[in-house]
């Protein structure tokens, strides 16, 4: 299972053609990889839509993915992660990022993200980041 963060989904739904969105397309096409989201990631993605149609289509799509929900122990772990990072002088911009990271750690799931805060979290915790695979240029 790979948890896909809002930063990747936003780029994808905005129609950007980047290595990340190309990798996401590959993952969406393969049956081998199970993609997941947290409810808060769905919220972050959907709040960015201006049109009702785009909102409705994205909501229908995202809610069909595997949903990973943090329990109370994960919330405690997220707070502990935030505190440990702060003690090391690392400022994380949002509590939600620590909650997403703690959920991924607890489920042993890599996180597919474009957000640089997660790179800092990964350097100082057990968070694993999904590494982009370069799309094949061979016909």
pLDDT in tens, 58-89: 999 999 999 999 999 999 999 999 999 999 99
Q: How far apart, in Å, do the first and last CA atoms of the chain sit?
A: 29
Check: CB of residue 52 under 8 Å from CB of residue 40: no
What structural domains does the chain harbor? 2-123 (3.40.50.1010)
Looking at residues 109-132, what average pLDDT do you find? Answer: 93
| pLDDT on residue 111 | 97
Confidence of residue 92 (pLDDT cuts 50, 70, 90): confident
CA within 13 Å, CB half, 3: 30
The overall average pLDDT reported for the chain is 91
**H-state helical runs in 1-139:** 6-13, 19-29, 39-46, 52-62, 72-87, 95-106, 116-123
């Amino acid at each position: 299972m790979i948890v896909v963060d809002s930063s990747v989904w936003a780029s994808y739904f905005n129609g950007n053609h980047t290595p990340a969105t190309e990798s996401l397309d590959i993952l969406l096409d393969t049956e081998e990889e199970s993609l997941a989201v947290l409810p808060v990631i769905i919220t972050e993605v959907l709040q960015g839509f201006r049109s009702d149609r785009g909102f409705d289509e994205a909501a229908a799509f995202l809610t069909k993915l595997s949903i990973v929900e943090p329990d109370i122990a994960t919330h405690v772990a997220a707070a502990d992660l935030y505190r440990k990072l702060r003690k090391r002088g690392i400022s994380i911009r949002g509590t939600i990022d620590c909650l997403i990271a703690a959920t991924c750690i607890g489920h042993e799931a890599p996180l597919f993200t474009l957000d640089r805060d997660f790179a800092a979290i990964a350097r100082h915790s057990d968070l694993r980041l999904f590494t982009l695979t370069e799309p094949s240029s061979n016909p």
